[in-house]
A and B are shown apart, each in its own frame.
Chain A
Amino acid sequence: MRVPTDPQTGPQTDSQTGEYLHDVRLRVNGVVHDLRVPARRLLSDALRHDLGLTGTHVGCEHGVCGACTVLVDGRPARACLMLAVASVGAEITTVEGLTRPDGSLGPVQQAFRECHGLQCGFCTPGFLTTVHAGLEENPDPTHEEAREMIGGNLCRCTGYQNIVRAVERAAVLRRETADGDRA
């Protein structure tokens, strides 16, 4: 599926700064998007401003807080530390891509909801993407491994206890789903 963002008709330079605008094709959550952006456009801003995918949150904007974490070819990456123009050719997954095809919550999202793993929700998209990939790599984490998995994400509300519970609950939900799919 292609989203017509109509880049070819606009000017190739920014009218205010005179910057060259690159034609960039991004693949996000399985959908191809064509956009025209300056080289300095961060991937986090391209997702939010150019594509309207505001599920990815921008916190510290220098790679510390983890709120903007997306998956790049399945591996967690800080969207604020990537240029959109350098993200060509990668399969990008945002929090919007973690729901099931029918729109219901994925196992990690469901677990965060059940375990009260969020309060204000600002950091949550980064946790969800990080945990989603973390459980792909390690489907049955110990308590210590669950803590380690979220070590690069900051939350200022919860005190992390319920987030760790949510990681462990998500591992259970994933296994149940896998069993259900096999049945």
Chain B
Amino acid sequence: MKPAPFVYHRPRTLDEAVALLASEPDAKVMAGGQSLVPLLSMRLAGPATIVDVSAVAGLATLVVDDGGVRVGAMVRHADLLADPDARRVQPLLGAALAHVAHPTIRNRGTTVGSIVHADAAAEMPVVLAVLEGSVDVVGPHGGRTIAAADLVVGPLESSLAPDEIATSAWFPALAPGAGVGFAEIARRRGDYAVVGVAALVEAGGRARVGYLSVGDVPTVVDVTGVDPADAGEAALAHLEPGGDVHASAAYRAQLVRVLTARVLREAEAHRQTRQGAA
């Protein structure tokens, strides 16, 4: 349970970090380390080089305006959750972040790191996908923006190139007259969800539901026009719930039906509350 040897760099600037990543074969970026260090210790990951970006200037910035929330790569889950402006502008952030592991893990883990780790059991990749946010990355040939829909390409696999660093994630503000909901079932408080569901209902009736821990990748299904009671069944046509030691595939499918109805009703109630207040 000890990591294998690796070369360690702790650059102070983004340029330096990008140069290191470009020049070192088999290098891995580390931000909060709450997913990477256990993988290193269990030797499920064994990069030759670690580029620790925790000291890179400018990555710990959180910018909130009426348009949305931009979360820098070194913003910890706990700091995003504690930010009242971020929670107000995009309420799904607070609703989901409270389910991300335990407070102790949230103190170190970063939201952007969790997103590009691309774990299908994680909350924040699904939140980004439901909200149609994006991730800004920078590499040796400059920067680009990756839409959430194009970010996760497989289990624990993002579309970032090996020499790219995610610098921030963008969560659009919740539009006037829209509402959100989030729920998950876990065996124990703070554990990975057996199934988690995030929902966004917009003023025009458009409804999107995102699922974590249901398949290999975070999945978003459009359930516009479907009655909440039937939306889970409709979504299952696009999902492949798996069975494992924690839950059978049939149980996961049942949770999809129940939680989808629950979060859609929650999102609709939230939408009406906001509309009434506006």
Classify chain B: how many residues form its interface, as a range. 20 to 34
CB pair A81–B102 under 8 Å, yes or no, is: no
Which B residues fall within an 8 A CB radius of A?
A: 1-8, 10, 30, 33-34, 37-38, 40-42, 50, 52, 54, 78, 101-105, 107-108, 189-190
Starting from the known contacts A45-B2, A63-B38, 13 additional A-B residue pairs (CB-CB under 8 Å) come to A17-B5, A39-B7, A40-B6, A42-B2, A42-B3, A62-B41, A69-B104, A75-B107, A78-B108, A81-B108, A86-B8, A86-B30, A86-B52
How many Å lie between the Cα of A72 and that of B103 in the bound state? 13
29 A–B contacts, CB within 8 A, in A order: A19-B5, A38-B5, A40-B4, A40-B5, A40-B6, A42-B37, A61-B1, A61-B41, A62-B41, A63-B34, A63-B37, A63-B105, A66-B102, A72-B107, A75-B78, A76-B103, A77-B108, A78-B104, A80-B37, A81-B38, A82-B37, A82-B108, A83-B37, A85-B8, A85-B10, A86-B54, A148-B189, A151-B102, A151-B189
- Nearest Cβ distance between residue B104 and chain A, in whole angstroms? 4
- A interface with B by C-beta (< 8 Å): 17, 19-20, 22, 38-40, 42, 45, 61-63, 66, 69, 72, 75-78, 80-83, 85-86, 130, 148, 151-152
CB distance from B230 to the nearest CB of A (A): 35
**Residue numbers in A under 8 Å from B10 (CB-CB):** 85-86
Quick one: closest B residue to A17, CB to CB? Answer: B5
User: A78 to B54, Cβ gap below 8 A?
Assistant: no
Secondary structure of the B contact surface, majority rule: loop
B189 cross-chain contacts in A, Cβ below 8 A: 148, 151
A81 to B78, CA, bound (A): 16
Q: Is the interface of A mostly helix, strand, loop or mixed?
A: mixed
Is the beta-carbon distance between B41 and A77 smaller than 8 angstroms? no
Which chain B residue shows the least CB distance to A20? B7
* Selected contact of B41 from candidates A72, A80, A152, CB within 8 Å: A80
Instruction: Report yes or no: A42 in contact with B102, Cβ–Cβ below 8 A.
Output: no
Residues in B with CB closer than 8 Å to A72 are 107-108
Chain B residues near A86 (CB, 8 Å)?
8, 10, 30, 33, 52, 54
Asked if A40 and B2 sit within 8 Å, CB to CB, the answer is yes
Contact B33 A83 (CB under 8 A): yes
Contact indicator B6/A81 (Cβ below 8 Å): no
Residues of B within 8 A of A130 (CB): 104
**Within the assembled complex, what's the spacing in Å between the Cα atoms of A98 and B202?**
50
Among B102, B103, B104, B105: residue with most chain A CB under 10 A: B104
Known: A20-B7, A83-B8. A40 touches B108 (CB 8 A): no
Residues of B within 8 A of A81 (CB): 33-34, 37-38, 105, 108
The 3 closest A-B pairs by CB, nearest first: A152-B102, A39-B8, A62-B38
Provide the bound-state CA to CA distance between A63 and B189, in Å: 15
CA distance A66 to B6 in the complex (A): 26
Please, which residues of chain A bring their CB within 8 A of the CB of B34? Answer: 63, 78, 81
User: Are A82 and B104 touching (Cβ within 8 A)?
Assistant: no
* Chain B, residue nearest A60 (CB): B1
Closest-CB distance, A167 to chain B (whole angstroms): 14
Shortest A62–chain B CB gap in Å is: 4
Q: Which residue of A lies closest to B189 (CB)?
A: A151
